[in-house]
Structure 1
């Protein structure tokens, strides 16, 4: 049975009402029927029926989807355009491979920690040196490349594999993820600081790899499963109460999508279920065990809002926990911004290959942030942090984008 045959029944549940038009950000930018769930679903069905070929227009429609999941919320029938687009991408991968070469190279690099480390070192060394000498190249295809931080040493090489506390009440493992390891290492340190301040012994396995989400999103299930197996086998033998993930996208992959990846593997699936039951997004876990507010100290008053990453709000349904944590911080004035759960335009590689569309989406998000009157935007996804900060800088605004863990860590005295 082909990939599209597996989802054919779901393709037929779309009643073509057009409610998805109200929520789809790519449609609001482009205005074409092929850039909304209804149109994409009809194209996928036409391919499944053999009525159209896998031409450039079809690939453009499928690959430009943000996978934000907003269409399923608007759909009266609950049709998941995201799942159908992912099936179409998997079908494309099986028939044509991942194209163009730049996308294939990026996905292969992300899947391999050694290649990814070399790529970050090259960019942080020669790449940054060249960029700093050339005026006018702050952004590449809408991405703030000059402002992108590169860790001088990967986080996993900066810390021991086990961090003890005086009187441990909890024992957790920290799944770091690619960008916290190679770029936002200070945020990774904030996660550890908050956990240890709240009496958590932290295990940090050094043999961690990419969760597999980039490959999964573009239909390379074989590579995604390989990385998933490595991740599961690495963390399951640690005798811990939770696996902490400080990236909303990684958390959704580890907590939900691993179950889909191995749904038909009856031998390995029980192990997957044990693993996924342990996965907790950072703010989800901290809200569960409670932040020790007696150790918090006041800092300069600050107005803060929160941006919901797509994988958090529509993937693992974690929305109230980060807000609760932010509101608990001394002298933080929390302000809810308009459309807090609106996609920021990052969406993995979409921002690079559909940069004009992504930039328009980011600009609207930046306007919502400006209108809220805050100084700091907190969020729970490294990709969102980089996308939002770049977008804010691009339009000349002054807000600082921070991870929730960074704000909490700042409220603890060393």
Structure 2
């Protein structure tokens, strides 16, 4: 169950020494997909691609669990049905108060293992921003890929993204027909659904005719930048060339005035931003100018979330996260910023379980508050 162990399983599978079984699936899905092994491997082994190929083949041989398969293939590509599913699940949970085992990490898999989803927003981002606010003589037109967690739960992140970009004289287009990036489907080996989602997203943003495409979710960003190449090939090249993480985009193209906040803030590196996209300096530069920045110990260490890993191995996920919670508290910061809504959810869960009053926010929210203070 370590990187070399799973590589050995891949070799044994290739050589016919083992076969596709439920036990093999357990070994593959116990990977957090933090990408660190691929990033630091001195031989340059693309471990993640090898594991993903095995997972795809595994799904072809033994299939995907029934309920996740229904959600991925029926609901995920259909936004209205997916919205209805989420609202129905939320209402059901209020009526039947099941024992809470922890916050849900990936919304499409809400029914697995009795997990609860977090409170849904009263108004989803894709509904709230259906109309594009026109900017007089905008510097550029930018498409905003929202992602599931920001659309349905952390709408405050989207509000901060839009407010910051408007402050920088950028017109923000949020195509209402965009869909999930496809990472839940990819994680379970559902190649067909992942391709359908990717094709829709690429087409929708091409039709928007924007100069750039930004996202505020590390996992979505990494999926769009890398996985779409494997799924769609050259068809996605122009789409991927326009993609930026919000911190990467702002630091590359803009200068701005701030009034630094007096709040002491630390920063957690999302795996899919630090290891997956090599982005770590830009968010820190933003935070150093926007607040009283305090680096924590081993900020690049995984918080333990890991999407499906958290669902299948919740206790282990929380044990991994204990180290992150301790280092956040030890930093003396009053808040911790991050660039991934999935990490934010995990960290909030970890801190709440310890009775901590430290808050977790997105980097862009800190920048927005510092911009507001400077007005």
TM above 0.5: yes
Match of 2:322 in 1: 363
1:328-363 CA distance string (max 9 Å, x none): 11xx11111122111211111110111111111111
Q: For the residues of structure 2 that align with 1:189 and 1:125, how far apart are their CA atoms?
A: 25
- Match runs of 1:35-114 below 5 Å: 35-99=1-65, 101-108=66-73, 109-114=75-80
Q: Does 1:237 align with 2:207?
A: yes
Partners of 2:301 and 2:324 within 8 A in 1: yes
Q: 1:292 aligns with which of 256, 261, 264?
A: 256
Q: How many residues align?
A: 365
Give the alignment's TM-score, normalised by structure 2: 0.90
Partners of 1:161 and 1:206 within 8 A in 2: no
Match of 1:3 in 2: none
Q: For the residues of structure 1 that align with 2:370 and 2:188, how far apart are their CA atoms?
A: 40
Q: For the residues of structure 2 that align with 1:220 and 1:138, how far apart are their CA atoms?
A: 27
Partners of 2:199 and 2:232 within 8 A in 1: no
Q: For the residues of structure 2 that align with 1:56 and 1:228, how far apart are their CA atoms?
A: 28
State the SS of the aligned residue for 1:202.
strand
CA separation of 1:219 and 1:156: change in aligned 2, threshold 3 A: same
CA separation of 1:385 and 1:372: change in aligned 2, threshold 3 A: same
Match of 2:247 in 1: 283
State the SS of the aligned residue for 1:411.
helix
State the SS of the aligned residue for 2:207.
coil
Point out which structure has higher relative CO (alpha carbons under 8 A, 6+ apart): 2
State the SS of the aligned residue for 2:157.
helix
Q: For the residues of structure 1 that align with 2:103 and 2:168, how far apart are their CA atoms?
A: 41
Match of 1:174 in 2: 144
| Structure 2 residues without counterparts, runs of 5 or longer | 107-113
State the SS of the aligned residue for 1:407.
helix
Q: For the residues of structure 1 that align with 2:274 and 2:371, how far apart are their CA atoms?
A: 27
Q: Does 1:310 align with 2:275?
A: no
State the SS of the aligned residue for 1:262.
helix
- Match runs of 1:5-20 below 5 Å: none
Structure 1 residue 140 displacement after superposition: 6.2
| Structure 1 residues without counterparts, runs of 5 or longer | 1-34, 264-268
Q: CA-atom RMSD, angstroms?
A: 2.3
Match of 2:111 in 1: none
Structure 1 residue 130 displacement after superposition: 4.2
State the SS of the aligned residue for 2:135.
coil
Q: 2:130 aligns with which of 160, 169, 174?
A: 160
CA separation of 1:379 and 1:178: change in aligned 2, threshold 3 A: same
Segments of 4+ in structure 1 off by > 4 A? Answer: 140-147
Q: For the residues of structure 2 that align with 1:142 and 1:187, how far apart are their CA atoms?
A: 17
State the SS of the aligned residue for 1:339.
coil
- Match runs of 1:195-274 below 5 Å: 195-263=165-233, 269=234, 271-274=235-238
Q: For the residues of structure 1 that align with 2:276 and 2:49, how far apart are their CA atoms?
A: 12
Partners of 1:262 and 1:272 within 8 A in 2: yes
Give the alignment's TM-score, normalised by structure 1: 0.82
